[in-house]
A and B are shown apart, each in its own frame.
Chain A
């Protein structure tokens, strides 16, 4: 695929869509995006059925999660972008307040306090921030002339770092990374200078020894393990070694559905959640992995189309950020499972078993659909 055709692909929909509107547009649903998401979810259920030990209970619950998430998506799609824009700062600051509350009075789960027990359901404010940060930054950037000047960049970055640091302190490094990805992608799209970006990366690398001291022991261990999994093959390195074995032993076509020994015999830890990509690799092989990657890239491509076709800066930045965050969460997970990135506890979006991150994710897609379907058709 060369550059020209990619560009054409990104702008093609814009030309054709104005003439005739399909029925789902009135429901504020973007069909190509929904199709991609449902395909991923369907494949995900298939993998999960095998990974979860052929347990229908898990599938039922995952379907429930999906149902709730789709409802949330549908709901979010109905709200016009202007409303999001209006509420963005409030949501952001409310989110930060909740994050602080979590640190003080959070419900402890898995050694980290992420949950806030709110009336009947528990939820994670850090998850909300994954959307609140791009909302707020898009709102902020919309108010100024782009590209971002150094001053605005500084203000925006600082505001973005507050929730990320609070989340990392919980400690939930994975979510913090996604928050940074969400915020960072807004800044990137808003024209943050490449020169600054590269110097930031260099500065970050230089500061890593100091950051090292701020990390929790288990986070340090994960990074050490990433650098050398064989350091502790039965301890911290076990996950990554077993994951690589699972994927590698899958070969080109895999061992077949429900025939993965690594996952079915529990050698692969967290095989229905964070490491489900390895199960796919084991049972479906390279072919299966490529299919999954293609599905994700279809969604990303559609997200970027929506971004480019959006009508104002706020929508564009928001749509682009949500799309790129989705990609980052996919890539971080796949990278960790294949051993090219350190192990951070991040699920494979839409496929890993679990409800809360899926709801946030689909809420984000709901916003994307809202951006897509609430366009005014005056421009052609």
Chain B
């Protein structure tokens, strides 16, 4: 600041001042422009990649397209699982401002059940806000029409055509095929998030679950150009989804239906397979359930009711149910006895109706109070003599018994291609120590000889075991898939052969098979009730087993009169067999819970059907 104010303006000085300041200002603008250019280089060169990615993300939207789920056929091409087109009402929560109000308004047009709403809210929690959530599946045509008229009132809600899984045979195949249901949180963690990005349904059990990867297919994409409001302007590129492969099962729907019908009113399981290949022809677990209700969405209450129903309809008894084998174990013990030279076909014992290990020791009874008299090994099988097998088991010892049973596949997973298989229990001293914390007594060995005690096998193991006898030691892994089919080409699943059961003397096969044939043919055979088919031959073994898990009785006691027991405590009846006797085509295992006679009757129906006997009207 100047102290002496000048009266007359000093123009020269002002000119210099302004020029100087002008120059400084220009320098400042240059600095600022340099700053701007540095910033532009920063954005456009240094971080160009990041911003390109962000920009692409903005406008390019990859919309996943769900692949069509593969169909399931039986061995003859009968459709077992298909996809039917339905209309569903979907909401994109992100686009709806007030979900509660919107639902309320929709209810005025389309009836929504409490179940629909419950499902919707559950789905709502599991999905991202911009994913579609189904409000109602299977709209009627009227619903669709009514909603379309009112569409303008509901932005973010739309009618969508989709394919829904449908099982034409309903409960008949329920335990084999399983069902699909909406993907839940647990499954989300395990599936490939990319491949399932458009998928709503996933196999939950049975074939649908085991062969999920084959049936599902590969997700497709639509590359859509979007504007800022998220509207798709056009589809730029499309990668078609690869539909899931169709599965051809080994099952025969005719046989399966007959089996299912034969079980009417009974609980139990049936497995029929072809011993020449391990192909499962029928697999039934009764009671079944309607798989379609899982597809459309089952409410918690309904599910709990099914889950806790006393008959346990969701429980696949055929592969999961462990049953004491009872007398059907006897042919296996007999084979071992002959092969180990513990008995010859001529070895004969006197059956007084009881067996005692030592003087004053425990008395083991025969199922027939008075015994069977003189019994050789063949007759022991035909009349199912307990005493003979008590002695034989005692003679053989538990280790050799376990070995041969293990060779036949008992006590371990058969490897059948549906989920939830149980290995059963091949009781041994080690097993008993581990699980019961008790030593193994000789008595345990003895009752194992008649399939009582701790042994528990699954129906599929029994079918495989008996089939192995029929095929004289050859056996295959039981399986349900015959072929995969995609776009006309079929990949046949080759049977997987397992190491055969080998006997030192091949003729023992004939001895046991002949005895099993006589179970049916002989008047005193336990399978006499099966009847004697005219057109084919059958070898079989029946069994009666106490219901181990429910009622723990001393198996050595006299058999009581079953009819006075409450139903749930009655014995299970078993039937295993194969036909024809020479070179069998079918081997079956039937178990009927709490009924001591039905198994043979059911088995006969399946055998007849499999052997081409016309059904009686």
Q: Is B44 an interface residue (CB 8 A)?
A: yes
CA distance A220 to B39 in the complex (A): 24
Q: Is B37 an interface residue (CB 8 A)?
A: yes
Q: Is B45 an interface residue (CB 8 A)?
A: yes
**Residues of chain A within 8 A of B35, CB atoms compared:** 340
Partner of A250, one of B1, B6, B22, B44: B44
B residues 562-584 touching A (CB-CB < 8 Å): none
Q: Is B226 an interface residue (CB 8 A)?
A: yes
A297 CB to nearest chain B CB (Å): 6
Inter-chain contact B44/A307, CB cutoff 8 Å: no
Chain B: which residue is nearest A312 at the CB level?
A: B11
Known contacts A249-B48, A293-B33; is A189 also within 8 Å of B22 by CB? yes
A residues 296-346 touching B (CB-CB < 8 Å): 297, 300-301, 304, 307-308, 313, 316-317, 320, 324, 327, 331, 334-335, 338-340
Q: Is B229 an interface residue (CB 8 A)?
A: yes
B residues 32-61 touching A (CB-CB < 8 Å): 32-33, 35-37, 39-41, 43-45, 47-48, 50-52, 54-56, 58-59
CA distance A249 to B228 in the complex (A): 16
CA distance A308 to B24 in the complex (A): 12
Chain B: which residue is nearest A253 at the CB level?
A: B44
Binding site for A on B (CB under 8 A): 1-2, 5-6, 9-11, 13-15, 17-19, 21-23, 25-27, 29-30, 32-33, 35-37, 39-41, 43-45, 47-48, 50-52, 54-56, 58-59, 225-229, 233
**Residues of chain A within 8 A of B11, CB atoms compared:** 313
Inter-chain contact B225/A297, CB cutoff 8 Å: no
Known contacts A10-B23, A10-B26, A147-B17; is A248 also within 8 Å of B48 by CB? yes
Chain A: which residue is nearest B21 at the CB level?
A: A189
Known contacts A320-B25, A338-B43; is A190 also within 8 Å of B51 by CB? no
**Residues of chain A within 8 A of B40, CB atoms compared:** 247, 281, 286, 289-290, 338
CA distance A193 to B35 in the complex (A): 25
CA distance A297 to B29 in the complex (A): 9
Query: Which of B25, B51, B55, B226 counts the most chain A CB atoms within 10 A?
Result: B55
Inter-chain contact A149/B25, CB cutoff 8 Å: no
A-B pairs, 7 with minimum CB distance: A248-B51, A249-B55, A266-B228, A248-B43, A261-B59, A286-B44, A265-B227
Inter-chain contact A244/B1, CB cutoff 8 Å: no
**Residues of chain B within 8 A of A188, CB atoms compared:** 21, 25
A279 CB to nearest chain B CB (Å): 13
**Residues of chain A within 8 A of B14, CB atoms compared:** 145-146, 313
Known contacts A289-B40, A307-B18, A313-B11; is A245 also within 8 Å of B25 by CB? no
Query: A interface, by DSSP: helix, strand, loop or mixed?
Result: helix
**Residues of chain B within 8 A of A335, CB atoms compared:** 36, 39
Inter-chain contact A145/B58, CB cutoff 8 Å: no
Interface string of A253-287 (1 = CB under 8 A from B): 00000000110011100000000000001100110
CA distance A266 to B227 in the complex (A): 6
Inter-chain contact B17/A267, CB cutoff 8 Å: no
**Residues of chain A within 8 A of B44, CB atoms compared:** 247-248, 250-252, 281, 285-286, 289
**Residues of chain A within 8 A of B18, CB atoms compared:** 146, 189-191, 307-308, 313, 316-317, 320
Query: Which of A1, A145, A304, A308 counts the most chain B CB atoms within 10 A?
Result: A145
Inter-chain contact A249/B17, CB cutoff 8 Å: no
Inter-chain contact A307/B1, CB cutoff 8 Å: no
27 contacts between A and B (CB under 8 A): A3-B27, A146-B14, A146-B18, A189-B18, A191-B21, A242-B58, A245-B51, A245-B54, A247-B43, A248-B52, A261-B55, A261-B58, A262-B55, A266-B227, A267-B58, A282-B55, A286-B41, A300-B29, A304-B26, A307-B18, A316-B15, A317-B18, A320-B21, A320-B25, A324-B29, A327-B32, A331-B33
Interface string of A145-167 (1 = CB under 8 A from B): 11101100000000000000000
Inter-chain contact B23/A6, CB cutoff 8 Å: yes
Inter-chain contact B55/A308, CB cutoff 8 Å: no
CA distance A147 to B32 in the complex (A): 25
Q: Number of contacting residues on A, CB 8 A?
A: 56
Q: Is A185 an interface residue (CB 8 A)?
A: yes
Q: Is A246 an interface residue (CB 8 A)?
A: yes
A8 CB to nearest chain B CB (Å): 11
Known contacts A244-B43, A338-B39; is A189 also within 8 Å of B25 by CB? yes
Inter-chain contact A245/B26, CB cutoff 8 Å: no
CA distance A6 to B26 in the complex (A): 9
A41 CB to nearest chain B CB (Å): 20
A343 CB to nearest chain B CB (Å): 15
A144 CB to nearest chain B CB (Å): 8
B535 CB to nearest chain A CB (Å): 76
**Residues of chain B within 8 A of A331, CB atoms compared:** 29, 32-33, 36
Partner of B228, one of A265, A293, A327: A265
Q: Is A7 an interface residue (CB 8 A)?
A: yes
Inter-chain contact A265/B226, CB cutoff 8 Å: yes
Known contacts A261-B58, A338-B43; is A150 also within 8 Å of B1 by CB? yes
Known contacts A265-B59, A266-B229; is A340 also within 8 Å of B36 by CB? yes
**Residues of chain A within 8 A of B56, CB atoms compared:** 249, 261
B49 CB to nearest chain A CB (Å): 9
CA distance A53 to B44 in the complex (A): 23
B231 CB to nearest chain A CB (Å): 10
Inter-chain contact A245/B58, CB cutoff 8 Å: yes
B563 CB to nearest chain A CB (Å): 75
**Residues of chain A within 8 A of B32, CB atoms compared:** 327, 331
Chain B: which residue is nearest A327 at the CB level?
A: B29
CA distance A66 to B226 in the complex (A): 34
CA distance A349 to B6 in the complex (A): 41
A23 CB to nearest chain B CB (Å): 29
Chain B: which residue is nearest A141 at the CB level?
A: B14
Known contacts A150-B1, A244-B51, A338-B43; is A304 also within 8 Å of B25 by CB? yes
B269 CB to nearest chain A CB (Å): 58
B275 CB to nearest chain A CB (Å): 66
**Residues of chain A within 8 A of B23, CB atoms compared:** 3, 6-7, 10
Task: Identify 16 new A-B residue pairs, CB closer than 8 A, beyond the known A188-B21, A267-B58, A331-B29.
Answer: A10-B23, A10-B26, A146-B17, A244-B51, A248-B50, A248-B51, A249-B56, A252-B44, A265-B228, A281-B40, A286-B44, A289-B44, A308-B18, A324-B25, A331-B36, A338-B43
Interface string of A179-199 (1 = CB under 8 A from B): 000000100111101000000
Inter-chain contact B37/A267, CB cutoff 8 Å: no
